[in-house]
Amino acid sequence: MDRLRKEAKASIYAEKAYQLILQGVREFHSAEDQRLLMNSLLCQCALFSRLWEGEQVFFDLLDRLRQVDLDDIGEIFPPTHH
């Protein structure tokens, strides 16, 4: 039961993060500007992770990013054309 509660809570945060990111991306019209925004967001998230939670959490985040399956991402977020 605790696992389900944690997963539900995590999905709430994931959904909010997705909404905020999508809102920011929509403010930029070129693919280059959108890429720069995403790069900046990723760097800021890594920085805050390191400052607030320490080195191990930061390295865990990097490991999770390395393990992202790009095929799965394509199914979740279909490519958009500019």
d(C-alpha 60, C-alpha 75), whole Å: 25
Among all chains, which residue has been given the structure tokens 């490519």? Answer: 79
Q: What is the pTM of this model?
A: 0.64
User: pLDDT tens track of the chain, all 82 residues?
Assistant: 566 566 666 688 888 988 999 999 999 999 999 999 999 999 998 899 999 999 999 999 889 888 877 776 655 555 555 5
Tokens, residue 39? 């790069």
